[in-house]
Amino acid sequence: MENVFSCTGYIKPNTVISNAFIEHFMLDANGSYVKVYLYLSKYIQAGKTDISVSELADKMDSTERDIIRALQHWEKKGLICITVDNEDNLISIDMYNPDDVYESIKKDTQTDEVIDDIASTEQMPFSGTKETENRFLNSKPVTVSPKQLKELASNQDFKWACQVIESFLERPFKPNEIELISYLYGTLHFSSDLLLHLYEYCISLGKSNSSYIQAVALAWHERGVKTPEDAKKESTDYNTAHTAISKAFGLGRPLAMIEKQFVEKWQKDWSIDLSVILEACNRTMLKIQKADFKYTDGILDNWHKSGIKTLLDVEKADEIYAKNKADKKSQKDNSNSGSYRYNTTGSSVNGYVKKNQFNTFRQRDTSHAEISELEKKLLNR
């Protein structure tokens, strides 16, 4: 590929790299992508206006396909704009000010809370289920037959994927890593794009351990993930629930493993809608003024046994509960409708008699002479 494209942009000489790029775009990017961005910045600031993809590939000791992937990554981040011709050949690229891009992102998110949500989800260790986490803790290395390894050794698409993944890891493969990639590609039929997304995703979380990557990959396979788009949706759906529940409880942190297990049960086992889970969380906070997953689990358990799945079901259940409570109160009032009325001496009124506190003792009439005699004795004492 000998396509030549011109580069224009805001960057001035002296190879100045914006702090916004370092703080908000570089830290979670693959190292090979960062190298391409830095070299383009240097190239433009040196006053040059064109360079070919093949030249960049030679400079980076990479393939042209690697360079294209790096450029596409930065385009997705909004830092560059790629222009192609009618045959999808790259002909030009514009670079934008990272400060302006980041400010635009903040405006689009409307509130700092959404940015905090993104930061929280980036720290989530798994985009799978409780079983995924258990598998990570107890995973055994996968195995591939020598015949399959030999077949894959001549597969150009597989070899290319391995080269890119090795560049992601920034070190040579370990034997178990080669077997894992071979297993995912040859046995589970992960496409090369899905393989690259898998490693890029895990490495972006600071996780390059093969056991961790294997656990995530197996979870994706179980859930029918076939493309990078499927994987992104899976991660988003999973992390959205955790983030929303953490916010409802005011935790200000990602959920712990035991807390995720509760969420897993509510969503996967009981099929309860997220809005209903959040309503249970809100009622927990109002009732006991603290985040208590066991208390919330009790609420949801009752709702689950009652067949409650949506907020509309919750409203109907509340109405029925309020009506039943009112009916019981009415019945109790009616049972006491012949309300007892008593005079101070405990004599009967309307046929009912209630003794006062003195009626429980034996009483007798006392003469005036007896009272006088009692007074004299008291005075003499």
Task: Assign 346 to helix, strand or coil.
Answer: coil
135: Cα separation from own chain's centroid: 19
Return d(Cα 167, Cα 60) in angstroms, integer. 11
Integer Cα distance of 361 and 358 in angstroms: 6
Question: Quick check: 84 pLDDT over 70?
Answer: no
Q: Looking at the predicted structure, is the pLDDT value of residue 31 above 80?
A: yes
The pLDDT of residue 316 is above 50: yes
Alpha helices in 139-256, H assignment, sequence order: 146-153, 156-169, 175-182, 192-204, 210-222, 228-248
The backbone torsions φ and ψ at residue 198, rounded to the nearest 5 degrees and listed phi first, read: -60, -50
Q: Per residue in 248-301, pLDDT tens?
A: 999 888 788 788 889 888 988 898 888 899 999 999 999 999 999 999 999 999
Is pTM beyond 0.85 here? no
Residues 213 and 142: beta-carbon distance below 8 Å: no
pLDDT over threshold 90, residue 236? no
Q: Are 309 and 273 in contact (CB under 8 A)?
A: yes
Q: What is the pLDDT of residue 10?
A: 55
pLDDT tens, residue by residue, 162-173: 999 988 888 888
Q: How high does pLDDT run on average in the chain?
A: 77
In this structure, the strands spanning 90-95 and 4-9 are parallel
Q: How sure is the predictor about 107, in pLDDT bands with cuts at 50, 70 and 90?
A: low
What sign does the CA torsion over 203, 205, 208, 211 have? negative
Sign of CA dihedral 69, 73, 78, 80: negative
* Ordered DSSP codes for 94-140: EE--HHHHHHHHHHHH-SHHHHHHHHHHHT-S-SS-HHHHHHHHH--
Residue pair 148/158 in contact by the 8 Å Cβ criterion: no
For 189-230, write each residue's pLDDT tens digit.
999 999 999 998 888 777 888 888 998 898 888 888 999 888
Q: What gap in Å lies between CA 245 and CA 366, rounded to an integer? A: 77
Cβ 318 vs Cβ 283: under 8 Å: no
For the chain, the structural domain boundaries read 4-106, 112-234
* CATH top class, domain 4-106: mainly alpha
